[in-house]
Amino acid sequence: MPHEKNFPNLIKLKYIHDGVDGCLTVMENHREIPFSIKRVYYINKLKNKHAVRGMHAHKKLKQAIFCLQGSFSLSIDNGLEERRIKMHKSHVGVYLPPKVWHVMRRFSEDCVIMVVASDFYRERDYIRDYNEFKKYLKKHP
């Protein structure tokens, strides 16, 4: 799937339904995931239905986000366009290129989110204030 520069895209993973033996979902570097994966993390046990997560952008980090179980709402903003996506299919994720503000909310109680990232955690890569994000985009189009 071609990925527009600085615009989130849907990622569809290989998904094989094996009847009573379950389902197999596969992701591979530079195939379904448009970068090399250096970090994987997940979020679960979201008991507060009013929780809001994310609320940041990254300067260089690339990510792909998946809802492995349950559902949540993902809001994305690249400075030109905003979208809201209902995340609820374990084999369909969203590619988040650098410079995309994202917010996660409306989690189901059983929600499990998995994120794969192109680099290790680096606090200096985060933009945690929306106004600073807008300023950053003007300086770094």
* CA distance linking residue 64 with residue 42, whole number of Å: 12
- Which three-class secondary structure state does DSSP give residue 98? coil
Location of structure tokens 């995309």:
100
Rounded CA separation 85/64 (Å) = 14
> What Å distances lie between residue 132 and 57, 118, 126, 127, 137, CA to CA?
10, 23, 11, 7, 9
Which residues belong to the active site? 56
